[in-house]
Structure 1
Amino acid sequence: MIRKARAVWRGTGKEGTGALTTDSGVLNGTAYSFRTRFENGEGTNPEELIAAAHAGCFTMALAFQLQNAGVTPTELTTEAAVTLEKEGEGFKVSRSALTLTADVPGIERAQFDELANKAKAGCPISKLLNAEITLDATLK
């Protein structure tokens, strides 16, 4: 499986603007710029997209872990907070903090924690990131 996205940039790093497009069409000329990355401009940025990808990947991986254990969640809600920090002359994604709220009837806390940690370590986006990955999980 191969997924594609395209970025087009015009102008300088600080004053220029870019647009992101995915083959699925979910992003179609979506704006990104210095302001959307380092300030609060309208549009997206690479770190926000990484956070969305990590939250989605981890949550789906946990759903499969629970399914394989014979348990069906009522709802899994995950937020990923990606940290971008200065490193030398550039920047680095140093952390992705996952915060999970899960409604999973009929599961013991120890089993839930084990499956959630397997999902955190095993999801493809976790494997891709060269960053600290944390998980704070709440079981309703």
Structure 2
Amino acid sequence: MKRQATAVWQGTIKEGSGKLTTQSKTLDGTQYSFKSRFEEGVGTNPEELVAAAHAGCFTMQLDAFLSETGHRIEFIETTCKIDLTDGTIVSSELEVSAKIEGISDEEFQELVTKAEKNCPISKLLNAKITSNAKLV
């Protein structure tokens, strides 16, 4: 399976802007710029997209591991915070909240760690990846 996205940029790094389009068209000419990346401009940015990808991928992986063990999942919510420091993504922090029937906190934490290490986006990132999870 291969997926793709296209970035088109025009102008200088600070004054220019770009548009992102994904194969599925979920992003279709979505704006990004220096201001949306480093200030509070309109549009998205690469780090926000990485955060979305990591949160989504991790959540699906955790769901798969929980389902394999026979647990009924009411919900899993994951927020991912990407830290860009001096031009490098230095960490990805996953904050997880879940409601799952019949699971101990110990088993939940083990499966969170397993998902953290095994989701494809975690494997892609060359950064410190941490997670903080709680059952609700």
**Shorter-chain TM band:** over 0.9
User: Following TM superposition, where does structure 1 have runs of at least 4 consecutive aligned residues deviating by more than 6 angstroms?
Assistant: none
TM-score with structure 1 length normalisation? Answer: 0.96
Q: Which residue identity lines up with residue 32 of structure 1 in the other structure?
A: Y
Partner of 1:22: 22
Deviations 1:60-115 (A, max 9, x none): 000000001111210000000000010xxxx1000000000010110011111111
Q: How does 1:48-87 map to 2 (within 5 A)?
A: 48-86=48-86
Residues 1:93 and 2:57 are matched in the alignment: no
Q: Distance in 1 between matches of 2:105 and 2:84?
A: 32
Which secondary structure state, in structure 2, belongs to the residue aligned with residue 32 of structure 1? strand
Q: Superposition RMSD on alpha carbons, in Å?
A: 0.5
Give the AA of the match of 1:93: I
CA–CA distance in 1 between the matches of 2:94 and 2:72? Answer: 21
Number of positions where the alignment pairs a residue of Structure 1 with one of Structure 2: 136
Q: Which amino acid aligns with 1:73?
A: I
Aligned to 1:104, which of 96, 100, 103? 100
Distance 1:15 1:129 in 2: 29
Distance 2:72 2:82 in 1: 28
Identity percentage of aligned residues: 52
Q: Which secondary structure state, in structure 2, belongs to the residue aligned with residue 74 of structure 1? A: strand
The Cα offsets for residues 98-133 of structure 1, whole Å up to 9 and x where unpaired, read as 000010110011111111110000000000001110
User: Could you state the TM-score of these two structures normalised by the residue count of structure 2?
Assistant: 0.99
**Which residue identity does 1:50 align to in structure 2?**
V
